[in-house]
Amino acid sequence: MLLVGWEALFFWLLTLAALFAAVFTVSAHNPVHCALFLISTLIATAGLFLLLRAEFVAGAQILVYVGGILVLFLFVLMLVNTRSEVENPFNRQDKVGAFIAVLVGLALLGAVTYTQQRGGFFKTKPSADRLAIENARPDPNAPAGVISADTETLGVTLYTRAVLPFEIASVLLLMAIVGSVLLARDRRQEETYD
Amino acid sequence: MLPLLVELPPLPTLRDTAFIMPEIILTLFAGAALVLDVALPRSKKHLTAYFSLIGLAFVAIALAQQVAMTASLLPISAFYGMLFIDGLSVVFRFVFIVAAAFSILYSIKYLEFEREQRGEYYALILFSTLGMMFVATSGDLIALFVSFELMSLSVYVLVGYFKRDKRSNEAAMKYFLTGIFSSALMLYGLSLVYGVTGHTNLGLISETIAGYVQGGTAESGDPRLLLMVALVLVAAGLLFKIAAVPFHMWAPDAYEGAPTTVTAFMSVGPKAGAYVLLARMLLFALAPMREMENLPGWAALLAVVAVLTMTVGNLAAVTQDNVKRLLAYSSIAHAGYILLGIVSGTDMGYQGVAFHIMTYTLMNTGVFAIIIALHRQGVIGENLNDLNGLFSRAPSAAVLMLIFILGLAGIPSTAGFVGKFFLFGSLIQSGKPWLTYIAIIAVLNAVVAFYYYARFARAMFLNAPSENIADASPLLLAPSVRITLTLSAIAVLFFGIYPQPLINVADIVAQSITTVYAQSSGIALR
């Protein structure tokens, strides 16, 4: 799928926004700024999901991550005094880390360029999942107001193909709750419950 | 109701659900252990441990029944290819159950002594075991990753279980940060694999990649370079998890700081889970990339890592005085040996991998059980000096320890020797000259390892008892622990002298790797 016209423009804008905001997230001195930059990254990613016509995922991204998790982050950061730890967000290994990151990035870029020159991707038979997504995609020439099948595809997949990982993830969440309570409660709370 | 816009695939049936019966039982018992903990008074909390052990027994029975019913049908795929049961999953699920049961059994006294006896501990071990069992039965990247995280997250919490102990906190933090970093690396690699192949099903990925590797022409596209990047990322994540050099730095700190019972568990259970994930990814999904035309495959990469891992692990272990750190480096070295079997790519190598992991589970938990028993009032029991004169104070414990240590060292007539023989022998058997050189390096490494394992024997049998130990209360093993240790020691000796029964079991794994994976399209989406 090649992006043309406005889609290409928005793709590059959103990608660059996401990337730069991600870099600022790790390099900003003030933790509140870090969280705000992370919000920018997530919103830009939501925009990328929209370009892929995954409206539901984009909406969920904004509702859950930006609206829920990041707002909690900000609350915690503002309640806890983090001033002592913001002097220098880098340590002695920043140069090595940057070098390795650049190396991996260049390797990826080179591999992608080479692959495109040699004939690109997806010349094999697409999988059932991919076909379902392709088929569910609305006709681009259809008039506005047509219901997208995206949400339905996701729901159906979640309860058929992905039902096993879905259930494992539910156990994972239960375990995470138990673990965080175990680590967070203090001696007095422990004695009350014992 | 609006009509559905997408076609509804057939829903999972009761037949599918029957295949995850052992896992369902384990989930129920883990949840019940949490509830039981709330219901029990403080003095009775240790009953949760026995309850968990009963749960594991039920899981083992359910698993045995599943094997009896489906042995001729293997490999089975269900849940749209998400679940994939073959010989490897059957054997390793038993290994996980044994590892979890041993860890729980050895923990009871230890936690009692530390006044940290709580049901959550046992529930977390069960949850981690559940994650491992799902890792062994997943046939899809999504299921594999989610279940692997279930396994790892439980262990992160367990490492920090002594939350008022500074070392435990530090170890948990280090383990958690490096662990999630490696998970992120692996996830990025997996996303690239999905991007290039368009599949998350391991069999379909393998099929697609085989097409790319064989006919990398302009017509079909040639994403092999991109696959290489994906492979390096996935391999880096996996090598982090098994603590292979150069991704081993977290292991000694995490092993030392964690509660000793948790160290015992994470050195066998989650470690074996990581090996299963490694086997699933490299020997199944990315199997066609073992050796490629004009490009280095993962066999070369893994060979370098294996040599580095065993050399660095063994040399670093020589200078250690803390037993837990020493065993951490020893487990790094053993990871190197196990990688050799995967590099060799022969039946014998895969048998060696399975055999070594099974016997390593017995030997390593055994060593840790004795270390745990040394931990008493006023004695941390983690220094090599704390073993001084153990033979004169507790002869039976010293003899058991000696058997396990000799097994880890790979002395002939112990099971450790047979495992090493298979692993090193497979390199020579493969007939490739460069693998023969690696076999020579491996044997030299095993000689270095004798030195630090011999230090255990010297401390226990030749050194005079240290004074501070003499004052401490005598070393007592609970009867159940003593029986389990004796049985493990007998097994280590028995399989060292007559290894055939265990080799047959290991062969089930080797067969499922070589034959089942060759016809990988058989487990495609149902």
CB within 8 Å: A160 and B8: yes
8 Å CB contact between B335 and B244: yes
Structure token pair of residue B220: 């079909």
Task: Give the tens place of pLDDT for each residue, A154-170.
Answer: 888 888 888 899 999 99
Amino acid letter for position B321: D
In a domain, A177, yes or no: no
How far off is chain B from A39, nearest CA to CA, in Å?
Answer: 20
Domain count of chain B? 1
CB within 8 Å: A176 and B525: no
Interface with B, mutate which of A116, A139, A164 (most B CBs under 10 A): A164
In a domain, B13, yes or no: no
How far off is chain B from A75, nearest CA to CA, in Å?
Answer: 23
CB within 8 Å: A178 and B120: yes
How far off is chain A from B160, nearest CA to CA, in Å?
Answer: 8
Among the partner-chain residues A112, A152, A161, the one whose CB lies closest to the CB of B4 is A152
Give the pLDDT confidence score for residue A145 in this predicted structure: 54
* Residues B409-442: b if buried by 16+ CB within 10 A, e if exposed: bbbeebbbbbbbbbbbbbbbbbebeebeebbebb
8 Å CB contact between A160 and B9: yes
Across chain B, which has 526 residues, the per-10-residue mean pLDDT values are 64 81 94 90 87 95 91 81 88 94 90 82 94 92 93 93 87 91 92 86 85 63 81 91 88 90 91 92 86 81 91 90 90 93 89 93 91 73 79 85 91 90 90 87 91 88 70 69 90 91 90 72 45
Which B positions 151-210 lie with beta carbon below 8 A of chain A? 153-154, 156-157, 160-161, 163-164, 195-201, 204, 208
In a domain, A23, yes or no: yes
Range of the domain at B501: 18-522
Interface with A, mutate which of B1, B2, B6 (most A CBs under 10 A): B6
Residue B196: closest C-alpha in chain A: A121
For the beta carbon of residue B249, count every other beta carbon within 10 angstroms.
Answer: 13
DSSP symbol at B134 = H
Helix (H) or strand (E) holding B396: helix B395-409
Amino acid letter for position B413: S
Interface with A, mutate which of B15, B20, B45, B150 (most A CBs under 10 A): B150
DSSP symbol at B283 = I
Residue B525: closest C-alpha in chain A: A128
A168: left (phi over 0), alpha (psi -120 to 50) or beta: alpha
Give the pLDDT confidence score for residue B159 in this predicted structure: 92
Helix (H) or strand (E) holding B78: strand B76-78
Give the pLDDT confidence score for residue B475 in this predicted structure: 67
Count H helices, E strands: chain A?
Answer: 9, 0
In a domain, A67, yes or no: yes
B4 touches chain A (CB under 8 A): yes
Cβ neighbours of residue B340 under 8 Å, at least 6 residues apart? B306, B310, B349, B352, B423, B424, B426, B427, B438, B439, B442
How far off is chain B from A10, nearest CA to CA, in Å?
Answer: 21
Cβ neighbours of residue B262 under 8 Å, at least 6 residues apart? B103, B155, B158, B159, B161
Distance CA A29, CA B76 (A): 53
Distance CA B181, CA A123 (A): 33
CB within 8 Å: B5 and A176: no
Distance CA B241, CA B272 (A): 10
Low-confidence ranges of chain A (pLDDT < 70): 1-3, 81-90, 119-148, 193-194
Contacts of A112 in chain B (CB under 8 A): 226
Indicate the pTM of the whole model.
0.90
Domain count of chain A? 1
How far off is chain B from A184, nearest CA to CA, in Å?
Answer: 9
In a domain, B500, yes or no: yes
In a domain, B12, yes or no: no
Give the pLDDT confidence score for residue B220 in this predicted structure: 56
Task: Count chain A–chain B contacts defined by CB atoms under 8 A.
Answer: 148
User: In Å, what is the CA distance from A130 to each residue of A153, B78, B473?
Assistant: 11, 20, 66
How far off is chain A from B511, nearest CA to CA, in Å?
Answer: 27
Contacts of A194 in chain B (CB under 8 A): 41-42
Q: Which residue has the tokens 């690239």?
A: B192
Strands B76-78, B83-85: pairing is: antiparallel
This model of the complex carries an ipTM of 0.88
* Residues B70-91: b if buried by 16+ CB within 10 A, e if exposed: eeeebbbbbbbbbbbbbbbbbb
Contacts of A193 in chain B (CB under 8 A): 38
Give the pLDDT confidence score for residue A84 in this predicted structure: 53
Angle, CA of B313, B318 and B322, to the nearest 5°: 95
Any idea what the CATH number is for the domain that residue A21 is in? 1.20.120.1200
How far off is chain B from A179, nearest CA to CA, in Å?
Answer: 6
Range of the domain at A24: 1-84
Among the partner-chain residues A119, A169, A174, the one whose CB lies closest to the CB of B146 is A169
In a domain, B61, yes or no: yes
CB within 8 Å: A194 and B42: yes
User: In Å, what is the CA distance from B375 to each residue of A154, B188, B370, B403?
Assistant: 53, 42, 9, 20
Give the pLDDT confidence score for residue A107 in this predicted structure: 87
Q: Which ranges of B21-140 would DSSP assign to H, the alpha helix?
A: 21-39, 47-70, 87-114, 119-137
Contacts of A179 in chain B (CB under 8 A): 120, 124, 153-154, 156-157
Residue A187: closest C-alpha in chain B: B164
CB within 8 Å: B160 and A183: yes
